[in-house]
Structure 1
Amino acid sequence: MLSSEVDVARAWAESGGSWLTGERTGSPSAAGAGAAGVAEHLLRDVAGLVGEVPGLPTVAVLGERAALAGLQRDGARSCGGASRIVPTADGHLVLTLARSDDLALVPALVESPCLSGDPWLDVAAWALRSTSREAAARLHLLGLPGGAVGGAVGGSPVRVRDGGARVARERPRVLDLSSLWAGPLCAHVLGLAGADVVKVESTTRYDGARRGHAAFYDLLHAGHRSVVLDFADPADRDRLQRLAASADVVVEASRPHALARLGLDADALVTAGVTWVSITAHGRGEPQRVGFGDDVAATAGLVGPGPVFVADAVADPLTGLAAAAAALRSLRGPRAQLLDVSMAGVAAWAAAVPVPDGPPCPASRPSARRPSGTAPGPGADTGAVLHDWLGELR
């Protein structure tokens, strides 16, 4: 349910989301307005928890990446270009080919060598020979991000399980193990609310967003501290585990078994008093499938007529706000919590919000806040954080 004070049509027009939805040569679309309604609702929730904090996002958060990177609407091709919606024999399929490993799997997906020189042509021809259900099953078998448009069961946006008693700090510690957009946006909001945010990356795999638009990375990470650890080194894995145990909130967006290999046990930490924010495509209890903001939104039914994509990777900022609101609420309570945040659940919530009748409000172009500074380079604060949080000598 949304607050009755939320004007969905106005919020959608002001968010930049309307401008980013529709065909490239067409007009901005009112389709997907529920995304702005949910964003406005969550932002009011955050403001009610932290008060008037300088720099907090507005509903324009839905278009900030597009504004900084110069992205635009492109119908059945995502604003960022890595995701597409293609027809199947009985519906539509969404697929993201954002990583080199995904592109390498296209011949296995279409069960044929790719001879056209354009993997998307091969995908489109294969999809037309398949039902949406068959195509989605093959994507899932190969571990590719995507699925049948509207075929996902959204579930609850945030599932909460109480844990052990937490010890309140004047300045909460937040350990950010996430990457890209949703998790870092959650950590960004917590940082604006006064938390000491520490981002941890592997020596062999930095956050992929570092390779994106620098101003967008600065927007989400300025004011945080950066730690880089060698996850193959037992001593650094021990440091990672102790950092997590000494945090008030851990934010992550990884598969549970990947974290378990690093010795991170969410259940044990929550029992010990650490709030754990777990962001996954479809929820921790569901089959673990990788998902990105555009394809998760489309599988949850958050699409415009055509179908076309809604805004830019819209499930990411919506999920980041939902995770932040839940984490802030947890920090005000007496017990730690496991917060199971489902991107598909949040997107399905937005998809279920009715699009207002009547003429659409004039659509604003996407806009972005100015970064408060420059994000630290990888590992710039490793020694200081190990000293401050763990007592190790610099």
Structure 2
Amino acid sequence: MRYFQEKHEVVQAVHSDLELVPCLFQCLRQCCKFVADAMEGGIEWQALATLPVAFSSLLPLSPTILFPADVPVRCALTGQGWATDYAALLLGSLGLKVARLAGAEDMSPAQCWAASGGMALTGTAALPLMAPWPLASAVEGVARALQALVAASGRSLTWPLPDARTLGERAALAGLSRPAVATTTTMGTLGGAGRLLVTADGALALSLPRTEDWAWLPAWLEVDVSFSADDAGWQCLAQHLAGRATGPLIERARLMGLAAAAAHFPPHVPDEPPCWLQVEHFDEAHGQDQGQGQGAAKDGQTASWPRRAPLVVDLSALWAGPLCSHLLQHAGARVLKVESRQRPDGARLGPAPFFDLLNHGKESVVLDFSCPEALAWLRGLLLQADIVIEASRPRALRQLGIVAEDILRLRPQLTWLSISGYGRSVPAAAWIAYGDDAGVAAGLSADLFALTGQWFFCADAIADPLTGWHAALAALAGFYSGGGLLSLSLVEVVRHCAQFRRPDDGAALRDRWQQWQQQVGVSGSIMPPQARPIVGQARPAGADTARVLAEFGRSC
């Protein structure tokens, strides 16, 4: 049993060591009186999910079931190694069986990180840093899981999926590079809107992308000082934080709507495996939610899966949500990008090539969110969609009278994908997070500090692309399985990736990190961030509003 806990290779063992599986399951039967069946090429994950806490905690992933327990479908994965194993775990957590087929060895996590551009974006100009976690391999794993899920549905990808180099695409197109030096009190994000700041008992990450964020700083610190939105302002802020405890600062920042995250040291490793996805289904007959983790009311046969491409209404902005809908386009989805006239997608003001990369091929709808008729039409559109992508705090849409739970009770087969910083539960639902500080909250900077003695951010807004990839898999699985409210947290997705096959203690993590550094040092394969070719421009804001209004029933 300990072998499986330490190696996190339950699925691989079924593939390569079939003779061990009966012994494992016999032990579980005797100790727990639960039956967990091993099948050739796959595992009955629903059976494993019913084990008591003492035994389920040995599993590498907390299952979040979307598909019913009797689903006969198997997703085929060819290959072996970190990425393929991660793909198997994700598919298994959704309730799908996985058939493992012999194939080529995956690229090692060290090589994958170096090739992704992530290593070139982490550290200082003189020292690119190896990541001690398989983040790039996780991206490759999600891509394989997506391919396997689409294939199991009987459909084909419209375009080939990208790879782990998506981690560095924004930096490549914006001309960003890792900073020249990290001072003893502050370390900046690649985009410049955030810093890691040393406190009396550790450090915290603070993101200030908006002008109004800077205006809140005197009230946050309870000081009569003005802070300029430049490097001098950051240095002044660092001086004020140096003697203060982290905890109270984080609490006040969250109350005031500032994106702040504690960099705990020593690094905190959760007792339970992080859960990358939370699921809630809704009963059509009674309009009552069925609770987290319940299967959809479908027979699980692929014959009952939708054969058409999904209609996606993308209400998100910036990176994670648009990347999710962009990846769904690769699976054939039609995407309507809906923006507020009062507050359009802020990424339109950033590097145009990056915005085009993620949003070309999407239809653009701009609505006046202060107009009741426009909001009524939007609610009607959401009721006709197959997938809705929301990437803001839940209260943002609720303030407009658009409540995900109410819409799902009217149309329970809708897949509502909610991307937020810390999840939908109170009080975390009110906390703001961006890609860089979410990575800090997930423990990445604390791990790097333990290994190097310096505070670093990991790559470029690392939580955004990681979450965008996982969100696409969740959305497509929701569409096939019968809908529901799917919630992904930036922090939990990053934590989930970082905890995959994490060694038990800091010394073992350091040993692995050093081994991975040596692998890359021998190959000399640290690649700069790279972006795919831009194949088309995004539609101008609102270019398709009139046509889409007419198609889906104009109300204003």
Which of the five TM-score ranges fits, normalised by the shorter chain? Answer: over 0.9
Q: What are the within-5 Å matches in structure 2 for residues 1-394 of structure 1?
A: 1=60, 3-4=84-85, 5=106, 7-23=108-124, 25-31=125-131, 33-50=133-150, 51-74=156-179, 75=182, 76-114=187-225, 117=228, 118-150=232-264, 155-163=274-282, 164=284, 168=306, 170-271=308-409, 272=411, 273-287=413-427, 288-303=430-445, 304-305=448-449, 306-333=454-481, 335-353=482-500, 354=502, 356-358=513-515, 359-361=518-520, 362-388=525-551, 390-392=552-554
* Aligned AA (1:70): G
Which structure ranks higher in relative contact order (CA pairs < 8 Å, sequence separation ≥ 6)? 1
Deviation at 1:59, TM superposition (A): 0.4
Change (3 A) 1:134 1:172: same
* Aligned AA (2:464): D
TM-score (norm 1): 0.93
* Aligned AA (1:284): R
Deviation at 1:193, TM superposition (A): 1.1
* Whole-Å separation in 1 of the counterparts to 2:332 and 2:189: 34
* Whole-Å separation in 2 of the counterparts to 1:365 and 1:52: 28
- Does the 8 Å CA contact 2:195/2:205 hold for their aligned counterparts? yes
Change (3 A) 1:32 1:199: farther
Query: Tell me, which stretches of 5 or more residues in structure 1 are unaligned?
Result: none
Relative to its length, the structure with more helix (as a share) is 2
TM-score (norm 2): 0.67
Residue correspondences, number:
391
* Aligned AA (1:339): L
Deviations 1:92-112 (A, max 9, x none): 111001111111111122222
* SS of residue paired to 2:475: helix
- Does the 8 Å CA contact 1:157/1:344 hold for their aligned counterparts? no
Query: Tell me, which stretches of 5 or more residues in structure 2 are unaligned?
Result: 1-59, 61-81, 86-105, 151-155, 285-296, 299-304, 503-511
- Does the 8 Å CA contact 1:30/1:360 hold for their aligned counterparts? no
* Whole-Å separation in 2 of the counterparts to 1:116 and 1:98: 14
Deviation at 1:149, TM superposition (A): 1.1
- Does the 8 Å CA contact 2:168/2:531 hold for their aligned counterparts? yes
Per mean C-alpha deviation after superposition, the further-off stretch among 1-10 and 61-70 is 1-10
* Whole-Å separation in 2 of the counterparts to 1:82 and 1:280: 19
* SS of residue paired to 2:486: strand
Deviation at 1:142, TM superposition (A): 1.7
* Whole-Å separation in 1 of the counterparts to 2:116 and 2:495: 19
Change (3 A) 1:119 1:185: same
- Does the 8 Å CA contact 2:374/2:555 hold for their aligned counterparts? no
Deviations 1:63-116 (A, max 9, x none): 000000010112521111111101110101110011111111111222223357
Deviation at 1:360, TM superposition (A): 4.3
* Whole-Å separation in 1 of the counterparts to 2:458 and 2:401: 38
Deviation at 1:352, TM superposition (A): 2.2
In angstroms, what is the RMSD of aligned CA positions?
A: 2.2
* Aligned AA (2:280): R
For the pair shown, the structure with the greater C-alpha radius of gyration is 2
- Does the 8 Å CA contact 2:280/2:486 hold for their aligned counterparts? yes
* Whole-Å separation in 1 of the counterparts to 2:372 and 2:365: 16
Identity percentage over the alignment?
A: 40
Deviations 1:266-324 (A, max 9, x none): 11333312100000101111422111000011111122332201000000000000100
Deviation at 1:33, TM superposition (A): 4.0
- Does the 8 Å CA contact 2:189/2:460 hold for their aligned counterparts? yes
Deviation at 1:179, TM superposition (A): 0.3
* Whole-Å separation in 2 of the counterparts to 1:282 and 1:116: 28
Per mean C-alpha deviation after superposition, the further-off stretch among 166-175 and 370-379 is 166-175
